[in-house]
Amino acid sequence: MFQPLTKPDLGAASADAQIYCRPTCFVDRPHELDDDCLRIADTMVWFAAWHISLRDGPTVESTIVPVSEWAGWIAAMPDRLAQSALAQRDGVLRPRGNLQLGERTIRLGEPQLMGILNVTPDSFSDGGKHVDVAAAVEAGFAMGAAGAAILDVGGESSRPGAPLVWEGDEIKRIEGVVSALARGGVAVSIDTRKAAVMEAALAAGARIVNDISALRYDDRAMEVVVHAGCPVVLMHAPSAKSDPHEGGDYRHVLFDVYDMLAERVAACVAAGVDRSRIIVDPGLGFGKGVGDNLALINGLALFHTLGCPILFGASRKRMIGALDNEAPADQRLGGTVALHYQAATQGAQLLRVHDIAENRQAIRVWRGLRDAALTG
């Protein structure tokens, strides 16, 4: 249950209590607030308050604290909670810089698009469209021309109930496509949870590993990423087994997902992955119901406290159909754009999408609004 949080509650917190400090109260014209607002990393998003939550057993107590009153609340916290809160604040404010992918520089000061290129026969939305290498490569170049900064190539469907694909078959599906796109100057991400597929894709020219299991499915995956020195996307899924949708029994979904990603970021850093090369993804739709997904979207800014860029992917997700009279996957563009626009307003740096041109237009309009507010 949720209750109001007061300063005395902080002092009475148990040794197992956890603190979460999420940016909130986003502002259009930060120059009018002087020092009473802060910037999320090097994005175009400023905020005027923190949504502070204390999780102690089954109870969550929350309050909104203006930026100007932050120091007083830190002083009221036990040292352990204060150190956690300060680390989260630092994570929000730390500049992310650029994502360097070979000769390509991806600037994360505004949302960038990651195009979805599934070379599978059974993906939930576009399965079978790009199983031919030539067709997949042509589609990939078209996505790049339309505004995709990165192309995410996947050879295994992760839809609910999808069969497991042998790594040899997965490599056959993706290798030629990755190679051709990389030779053509495209920044390629490989969407896989298998170490052997990661190695083959990286050898073919991929620059990022995007793992829906957050490097938990394959025991060698962490080693591959560390050895390659490449950026890695850590996505939340409730299970690291064959079916990533298994489980999903959350007490407080936003905090449960956050805790898992925080643990995986720490594991990667401990293994030798530079934090600047880690990207986090809350995993919309993976073992999550509509209510869970909405809670993650509304609380998305919390993930900035991890100090990593956020990848957000809501493209054609089933939740859109659930909110719109069961619209089929090919009729969910409006909902996709709406959700990605919401993510942009919370500072998400990367948006994973099927429909490049439409989402690119939405982000350009968003950028125009931000520019006008900041300079007007």
For this structure, is 277 an active site residue? no
- Pairing assessment for the beta strands 150-154 and 188-191 based on DSSP bridges: parallel
- With tokens 């509304």, the residue in question is 298
**DSSP string for residues in 268-328:** HHHHT--GGGEEEE--TTSS--HHHHHHHHHTGGGGGGGTS-BEE--TT-HHHHHHTTT--
For this structure, is 104 an active site residue? no
Four-point Cα dihedral 244, 123, 163, 253, nearest 10: 10
Angstrom CA distances, 288 to 38, 181, 183, 273, stand at 32, 33, 38, 28
User: Reduced to 3 states, what is the DSSP secondary structure of residue 117?
Assistant: strand
The dihedral of CA 276, 98, 279, 47: what is its sign? Answer: positive
Half-sphere exposure in the Cβ direction for 50 (13 Å, CA) = 25
- Pairing assessment for the beta strands 2-4 and 188-191 based on DSSP bridges: unpaired
CA distance 345 to 375: 17
Q: Is 39 exposed, middle or buried (0-12, 13-18, 19+ CB in 10 A)?
A: middle
Catalytic hit among 216, 264, 352, 360: 352
Question: Whole-angstrom distance between the N-terminal and C-terminal Cα of the chain?
Answer: 43
Catalytic hit among 22, 317, 332, 360: 317
Angstrom CA distances, 324 to 71, 160, 306, 328, stand at 44, 20, 33, 9
Tokens, residue 370: 């931000």
Chain-centre distance for alpha carbon 71: 29
The residues annotated with a catalytic role in the active site are: 317, 352
